[in-house]
Each structure stands twice: as C-alpha cells, then as structure tokens.
Amino acid sequence: MIDLLYFAWVRERIGLPRERLATEAATVAELVEELRAREDRYALAFADLSSLRVALDQELADFDASLAGVREVAFFPPMTGG
C-alpha cells in the first residue's frame, strides 16, 4: 500500500487531499497511468505532467523513479520563491 498525497490544484481536481492505494506500478509514471485510467478527475489532474512535481517519501523525484520500498507519493505543482 502506498499513501498518495495531493496538493494545491491537484487536490482540487481530484477532490481528495490523500488516499491509500494498492498498486502494481513499478515507477511513478506507471502509477500515474493507473490513476488516469480510474476516473476523469484523475485524467484531468494528471493530463500535463510538465506542470507537476512528485516527491517520494518527502524527497523530490522524477516520474521515471522506482516505487520499490516507497511508502508515500506526493503530487504538487511547481513552487516559486519570492
């Protein structure tokens, strides 16, 4: 089981701040494909991966990163500093 966390507009589009999911996905990209296939709200949230960032167990990662041993995946838009 993996805990999924959604922040900002990702959370708004999906309608949940978090959920727990059993997955066979080996990478973040495979997980995203699984999520997109679930419902339209997920397809909308993950339509443009260039506008998303991902963290695995609170460490920034790429979408081709392995999910082996990962307990938490967070999706969020890029942050800007000021």
Q: Quick: pLDDT tens for 15-70.
A: 999 999 999 999 999 999 999 999 999 999 999 999 999 999 999 999 999 999 99
Q: What is the pLDDT of residues 67-78, one digit of tens each?
A: 999 999 999 998
Domain assignment of residue 81, yes or no = no
- Residue numbers of the domain that contains 69: 2-76
We report the CATH number of the domain holding residue 45 as 3.10.20.30
Domain assignment of residue 23, yes or no = yes
What pLDDT, on the 0 to 100 scale, is given for residue 81?
55
Domain assignment of residue 82, yes or no = no
Structural domains in the chain (count): 1
The conformation of residue 41, written as its DSSP 8-state character, comes to H
Classified as helix, coil or strand, 10 is helix
pTM for the model stands at 0.93
pLDDT over 70 percentage in the chain: 96
Exposure string of 13-51, with b = 16+ CB inside 10 Å and e = fewer, is bbeeeeeeeeeebebbbbbbeebeeeeeebeebbeeeee
